[in-house]
Amino acid sequence: MPSLLLSCCLALASAVAHPAVLRSGFIYETAPYPECHASTIVETSPGKLVAAWFGGTKEKNPDVCIWVSHFENDKWAEAKNVADGLQPDGKRHPTWNPVLFQPPGKGAPLILFYKVGPSPTTWWGMQIKSTDGGHTWSAPERLPDGILGPIKNKPVVLTDGSWLSPSSTESRKDGWQVHFECSRDAGKTWTVIGPVRKGPNFDAIQPSVLFFPGGRLEALCRTRQGVIAMTWSEDRGRTWSPLAATGLPNPNSGTDAVTLRDGRQLLIYNHSAHRPDRPGKGWRYPIGLALSDDGIQWRRSVTLDDAPLPEGYAYPAIIQTADGLVHATYTWDRKRIRHVVINPSLL
């Protein structure tokens, strides 16, 4: 068994057992706030994991902060508050959607991107950095005007070393739009790519980026139209095709995806449709995995949680670590963060 899990408990806390699911449990049982959401996870070095999320009385409330926990001694450590929306004039805004990113290269600092502002239509991008794997952090830094950072899902590193950040906007005028932000100098400067054309009038946000041979890229996106949308780049992210529908449902809820080292594409998402009583909204359960070889044809693989809960299971994040295992986190009923470890060779 890979080293990260040698002494981990293999008993499943998940509602649905599958031989590929090696571990499933909560990052914390109790917290000093009633609600949490929008988790992110990263491996800072082999076997060392860091997770983050936002927590407070309720999403959009000014007391919502960014919390970080470390996987140490075979368990998640107590989370610490590392960022809030306090402004120089004393006003306080909520924080939103943290995204952890560990750039490659010896000594590269861990970056935590997040948003601050009254709402997704008015928020702005922020970042803090850590040189000790996320135990201590720099002072908050606002991203340049027009740069929001990764809006929900992790940036990727292209073959030429550029960072490609999947992003999006929620404008009252133009609706939801997907775009990308690229840095060719390790985050010192950024350029905006897009927005991606909406195709058949898709309102889409929160893309995640997948890799294919020959420099092709695919981004999968949340939509209001009841399906996961896709867009493709044939030139390493410089231009993108209009949005088009995949064959997978989307109940207006976030997804995430990762390209496995064996070349398969792995998606975590809610396999459910719109609710007839709430157009544009859906049930955020069940949550599970789907696999694809070509990014077009997807096959359902594992259901991770399926019991109906008022707030469901949502806003997942997924990575593959150095030992080959897959780690996913997601919101559980807005009360806790679930962490699942998967052996992809058994999918």
pLDDT in tens, 140-176: 999 999 999 999 999 999 999 999 999 999 999 999 9
Strand pairing category for 48-56 and 65-72:
antiparallel
Q: How far apart are CA 326 and CA 342, in angstroms?
A: 5
Whose CA is closest to 158, among 180, 189, 173, 142?
Answer: 180
Whose CA is closest to 320, among 163, 156, 189?
Answer: 156
The DSSP line for 10-40 is --B-SSS--TTEEEEEES-S--SSSEEEEEE
What confidence category does residue 281 fall into, taking pLDDT thresholds of 50, 70 and 90? confident
Average pLDDT over residues 280-298: 93
Contact 114, 93 (CB under 8 A): no
Whose CA is closest to 315, among 74, 134, 84, 55?
Answer: 55
Q: How far apart are CA 345 and CA 325, in angstroms?
A: 9
Q: How far apart are CA 92 and CA 84, in angstroms?
A: 8
Number of helical H runs and strand E runs in the chain? 0, 29
Q: How far apart are CA 210 and CA 311, in angstroms?
A: 28
Whose CA is closest to 190, among 236, 125, 239?
Answer: 125
CATH 3.40.50.2020 given to domain 21-346: no
What confidence category does residue 279 fall into, taking pLDDT thresholds of 50, 70 and 90? low
pLDDT in tens, 183-213: 999 999 999 999 999 999 999 999 999 999 9
pLDDT in tens, 5-38: 332 333 333 345 899 999 999 999 999 999 999 9
Q: Is the pLDDT of residue 248 over 50?
A: yes
Angle 138-184-144 from CA coordinates, rounded to 5°: 50
List, in sequence order, every residue forming a beta bridge with 129; answer none if it has no partner: 111
